[in-house]
Structure 1
Amino acid sequence: MHDSREAEIRPQDAPLREDVRRLGALVGEMLGEQMGAEFLDTVEVIRAAAIQRRESAAPVDALAGRLQALAPVFADALTRAFSTYFHVVNVAERVHRIRRRRAWQRALAMPQPDGLHDTLAHLREAGIGHAALRDMLGRLRIEPVFTAHPTEAVRRSLLEKEQVIVRCLVADLDGEQTPGERAAGIAQMRMALSVGWQTAEASALRPSVQDEVDHIGFYLS
Structure 2
Amino acid sequence: MHDSREAEIRPQDAPLREDVRRLGALVGEMLGEQMGAEFLDTVEVIRAAAIQRRESAAPVDALAGRLQALAPVFADALTRAFSTYFHVVNVAERVHRIRRRRAWQRALAMPQPDGLHDTLAHLREAGIGHAALRDMLGRLRIEPVFTAHPTEAVRRSLLEKEQVIVRCLVADLDGEQTPGERAAGIAQMRMALSVGWQTAEASALRPSVQDEVDHIGFYLSDVLYRVLPVIL
Q: Which TM-score tier does this pair reach, normalised by the shorter chain?
A: over 0.9
Deviations 1:160-187 (A, max 9, x none): 0000000000000011100000000000
5+ residue gaps in structure 2?
A: 222-232
The verdict on how the C-alpha distance between 1:6 and 1:37 changes in structure 2, with shifts beyond 3 A counting, is: same
Equivalent residues in 2 for 1:49-64 (5 A)? 49-64=49-64
- Large movers: runs of 4+ above 4 Å: none
By how many angstroms is 1:155 displaced? 1.1
Provide the rounded CA distance (Å) in 2 between the counterparts of 1:70 and 1:163.
33
For residue 152 of structure 1, report the CA deviation from its aligned partner: 5.1
Q: Given the two structures, how large is their TM-score scaled by the length of structure 2? A: 0.92
Q: Give 3-state SS (helix, strand or coil) of 1:26's partner.
A: helix
Q: Deviations over 1:90-113 (max 9, x none)?
A: 000000000000000111111111
Q: Distance in 2 between matches of 1:157 and 1:150?
A: 16
Q: Using the TM superposition, give the Cα deviation of residue 121 of structure 1 relative to its aligned residue in structure 2, in angstroms.
A: 0.7
Percent of residue pairs bearing the same amino acid type: 100
Match of 2:24 in 1: 24
Q: Which segment is superposed worse, 168-177 or 134-143?
A: 134-143
In the alignment, is the contact (CA less than 8 A) between 1:152 and 1:202 conserved in 2? no
Q: How has the CA–CA distance of structure 1 residues 172 and 7 changed in structure 2, closer, same or farther, with 3 Å as cutoff?
A: same
Displacement of 1:27 after TM fit? 0.3
Once superposed, what is the RMSD of the aligned Cα atoms? 1.1
Aligned length: 221
Are the counterparts in 2 of residues 151 and 203 from structure 1 also a CA contact under 8 Å?
A: no
Question: 2:161, 2:196 within 8 Å by CA — same for their partners in 1?
Answer: yes
Which residue does 1:110 correspond to in 2?
A: 110
TM-score by length of 1: 0.97
> What is the alpha-carbon distance in structure 2 between the residues aligned to residue 148 and residue 37 of structure 1?
37
What is the CA-CA distance between 1:126 and the residue it aligns to? 0.6
Question: Aligned partners of 1:205 and 1:67: how far apart in 2?
Answer: 29
Which range is displaced more, 133-142 or 92-101? 133-142
- In 2, the alpha carbon distance for the partners of 1:37 and 1:43 equals 10
